[in-house]
Amino acid sequence: HQAMAPILLESVGNERTDYIEHEVVHVKNPHLDSMEEDILYHFNLGTKTHNLQSMFGDIKFVCVGGSGNRMKAFAQFMHRELGLIGDTTDIEDICAGTDRYSMYKVGPVLSISHGMGVPSISIMLHELIKLLYHAKCSDVTLIRIGTSGGVGLEPGTVVITDRAVDSFFRPQFEQVVLGKVIVRSTELDANLAQELLQCATEIPNLPTVIGNTMCTHDFYEGQGRLDGALCSFSTEEKLEYLRKAHEAGVRNIEMESTVFAAMCRICGLKAAVVCVTLLDRFEGDQISTPHDVLTEYQQRPQCLMSHFIKKRLGLFD
């Protein structure tokens, strides 16, 4: 198959080659180009007030996660890992004018918080994808690094998502558009997942698996927890649901992966979800692990990201 590629490329000329070599971030909205100005309200950025291309044009890796503090720590960590000059305390929150999200840029890496749940990450993704589009970014890889509940895994295990599934174990995301339900595929980039798994094997003490990730819209009842303000089911019914999830290949549960996968796919962004498990849901519901152990767990996806990015940038030669 490889022998065919050069012939095909030649036959369509340079533009086609450029297209294949540089995948430009695109939006799926015909209205956007006719807008005089685009205000990215929840980032406190805009096309008239900011030169987005000069600010963000060199971005190649976007890492997103729920907590602003964690994404700031990741930016500082990447600053050291990439051997960049300057003090890590100088890394500024690009979205400092709003407290909806936090955003940090470290060389070709953008680190952004997205809050909790599908609606919160979806607002961020709409504005992020528009930002990358306005900035004329190309060949961008987008990775969610988060925390999750494990399903039959030792706490601290990192799960690279194979398929992002909903509460009914279906690899799809339902989006309501003008009062009609639209179903979107949540397929992620399989090559990227394998590349990340390979990276994980090259790092000591980073237990990592590929598995399905269930995305719910609620942390308590929606994930079968017995410790919320509301609970109408028994311990046995909870365990039965988790067993069914496990049979469907689910290895962890979080609250953002389906819309993340669906939106990245539509916009042609190569994407992956890498979440560490903080507990095994077969063993309990409460996160009672000591703070320092949780902190170490949360650094694991960050270590994997650093290794992956440095390898991609050829910094291990």
Query: Which residues of this chain interact with a second copy, rule CB under 8 A?
Result: 27-32, 35, 37-39, 41, 66-69, 99-100, 115-120, 122-123, 125-127, 129-130, 133, 167-169, 175-179, 216-222, 224, 226-233, 235, 237-238, 240-241, 244, 255, 263, 266-267, 286-288
Question: Please, are residues 309 and 204 in contact by the beta-carbon 8 Å criterion?
Answer: no
Q: Please report, as a single letter, which amino acid is at residue 187.
A: E
When the beta carbons of 166 and 296 are compared against a second copy, the nearer one is 166
- Distance set, CA 152 to CA 244, 257, 286, 287, 301 (Å): 12, 19, 16, 16, 19
Residue listed under structure tokens 């650094």:
299
Least distance between a second copy and beta carbon 261 (Å): 14
CA quadruple 82, 87, 88, 92: dihedral, nearest 10: -120
CB 275 within 8 A of CB 148: yes
Residue 110 contacts residue 217 (beta carbons within 8 Å): no
- For residues 6 and 64, is the Cβ–Cβ distance under 8 A? no
Closest contact distance (angstroms) between CB of 125 and a second copy is 7
Min dist. Cβ of residue 313 to a second copy (A): 27
Nearer to a second copy, 175 or 299 (CB): 175
Decide whether 16 or 26 has the Cβ nearer to a second copy: 26
Q: Binding site, residues?
A: 100, 144-147, 223, 225
Nearer to a second copy, 172 or 216 (CB): 216
Angstrom distance (rounded) from CA 79 to CA 82: 5
d(CA 91, CA 75): 8
Question: Which residues, 6+ apart, have CB-to-CB distance to 154 below 8 Å?
Answer: 207, 277, 280
Q: What is the smallest separation between the CB atom of 196 and a second copy, expressed in angstroms?
A: 25
Distance CA 250, CA 169 (A): 8
Nearest approach, Cβ of residue 214 and a second copy (Å): 10
Element (H, E) at 101: none
Q: How far is the CB of 156 from a second copy (least distance, A)?
A: 17
Q: How many CB atoms lie within 10 A of CB 211?
A: 20
